[in-house]
């Protein structure tokens, strides 16, 4: 959905995925869109916060120097 792909393109990009599975996943998403979008947003914010709080790697420190 984020890439704007059709079901056919999703199945081309992920050969293990059957069209019926892609349609079912899209249907589930549209039936629960607010809940799923809120969960994605919360996980994104958590990942961004962890990224800010993580100490710099030794490589990053050497590159800044």
pLDDT digits (tens, 9 = 90+) for 7-23: 999 999 999 999 999 99
Full residue range of the structural domain in which residue 39 is found = 7-64
pLDDT digits (tens, 9 = 90+) for 26-47: 999 999 999 999 999 999 999 9
Whether 1 maps to a domain, the answer reads no
Q: Is residue 2 part of a domain?
A: no
Determine the Cα–Cα distance for residues 57 and 2; give it in Å rounded to an integer.
31
Domain presence at residue 18? yes
Q: DSSP string covering 7-52, please? A: HHHHHHHSTT--HHHHHHHHHHHHHTHHHHHHHHHHHHHHHHHHHH
In b/e form, how buried is each residue of 32-54, taking b as 16+ CB within 10 angstroms?
eeeeeeeeeeeeeeeeeeeeeee
pTM as predicted: 0.67
Domain count, the chain: 1
> Does a structural domain hold residue 50?
yes
């Amino acid at each position: 959905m984020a890439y704007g792909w059709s079901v056919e393109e999703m199945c081309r990009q992920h050969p293990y995925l059957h069209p019926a599975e892609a349609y079912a996943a899209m249907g589930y998403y549209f039936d629960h869109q607010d809940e799923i979008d809120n969960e994605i947003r919360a996980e994104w914010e958590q990942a961004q916060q962890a990224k800010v709080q993580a100490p710099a790697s030794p490589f990053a420190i050497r590159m800044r120097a």
